[in-house]
Amino acid sequence: MAGHLVTPGRLSVVATPLGNLGDLSPRAADTLRAADLVAAEDTRRARTLLSHTGARPRVVSFHAHSPPARLEAILDTLAGGAAVALVTDAGTPTVSDPGAELVRRARAAGHAVEVVPGPSAVGAALSVSGFPADRYLFLGFVPRRGRERRELLETAARSPWTVVLFEAPSRLGQLLADLAAAAGPERSAAVTRELTKLHEEVRVGTLDALAVYYGAQEPRGEITLVLAGAGPRAPERPPVDAATRARELLDRGLTRKDIARQLALELGVPRNEAYRLVTDL
């Protein structure tokens, strides 16, 4: 008796508009119309988008706090040969959003996995910031507190490249103040808000000025913060041997007392020890 032939399903990772429905690509609209199931981070936003395209698939909620059974159910749907579209509430799925595990599991199960590219808050914010984007560091949402937050802020401050961060509106003022402390108040940054929407705003300035502005009035909407890089790091100077430096200063005619003082300033050598070193020479 012949075995039953199972047709692999297809998972489409579909980028959706950040806010302006006109940014939905024709291919993305066709993919949504052809889908049997849409796994959506926010089902309300997804249904608005589906209504706009005339698509009528089944919609299920799939987000960071979904129970494990939801992932298994989506995989079961794929195993039945269905076309499943993964969408986030805005932009490109799995970029600081849930869905990476679904992509891994679907591929491991032998299903086709395709990307339908389109809007991304990261790319949009970089392009309008005016900062270099030939290399950049994306750090996503900043932890709210503790060592993990401090380490991430230090990483952002030290990066020689432009850094992109996400933040909730209510915490933007504090993030800017913390970055000013870590990277210096004069470091440049761009706050991009509500990109592609009616009240789109891009404000560029120093971290100190931006912290003051957004500390006085809490913004609304989706926030993407772009931080200017620290620039190339200065090459580290090789360690200087105290005796070698002392000989150089002796050759220049400095007194033992002046040389001891200079070694203490430059190399941190205790004054008494530096004086003994010069005397021995």
The verdict on residue 193 lying in a domain is yes
115 with 127, same domain: the answer is no
Q: Where a domain ends, among 119, 153, 174?
A: 119
199 with 221, same domain: the answer is yes
Instruction: Give the pLDDT of residue 240.
Output: 66
CATH number for the domain spanning 81: value is: 3.40.1010.10
105 with 141, same domain: the answer is no
35 with 115, same domain: the answer is yes
Q: Where a domain ends, among 119, 142, 170?
A: 119
246 with 195, same domain: the answer is no
Least confident residue range of 3-7, 29-33, 69-73, 235-239: 3-7
What are the C-alpha distances in Å from 156 to residues 101, 148, 185, 195, 258? 27, 12, 14, 23, 42
* pLDDT > 70? residue 148: yes
73 with 20, same domain: the answer is yes
The verdict on residue 48 lying in a domain is yes
Total domain count, the chain: 3
Strand partners, 202: 192
Strand partners, 39: 60, 86
The verdict on residue 62 lying in a domain is yes
pTM of this prediction?
Answer: 0.77
pLDDT (average), residues 201-225: 95
Instruction: Give the pLDDT of residue 241.
Output: 78
Least confident residue range of 5-9, 82-86, 229-233: 5-9
For residue range 95-120, what is the model confidence (pLDDT) as tens digits?
A: 877 799 999 999 999 999 999 999 99
pLDDT (average), residues 166-186: 96
Give every CB contact of residue 118 below 8 A, 6+ residues apart in sequence.
Answer: 14, 15, 16, 17, 23, 24, 25, 28, 92
Residue range of the domain that includes 221? 122-227
Query: Predicted confidence band at 274 (pLDDT cuts at 50, 70, 90)?
Result: confident
135 with 193, same domain: the answer is yes
* pLDDT > 60? residue 234: no
The mean pLDDT of the chain is: 91
pLDDT (average), residues 13-20: 96
Query: Predicted confidence band at 188 (pLDDT cuts at 50, 70, 90)?
Result: very high
22 with 70, same domain: the answer is yes
Q: Where a domain ends, among 119, 145, 175?
A: 119
140 with 103, same domain: the answer is no
The verdict on residue 141 lying in a domain is yes
Order of strands across the sheet that contains 10-14: 58-61, 37-40, 83-87, 10-14, 112-116
* pLDDT > 90? residue 128: yes
CATH number for the domain spanning 150: value is: 3.30.950.10
For residue range 244-267, what is the model confidence (pLDDT) as tens digits?
A: 888 888 888 888 888 888 877 777
Instruction: Give the pLDDT of residue 267.
Output: 76
Q: Is 1 helix (H, G, I), strand (E, B) or coil?
A: coil
Cβ(221)–Cβ(121) below 8 Å: no
80 with 102, same domain: the answer is yes
Q: What share of the chain has pLDDT > 70, as a percent?
A: 95
Instruction: Give the pLDDT of residue 4.
Output: 45
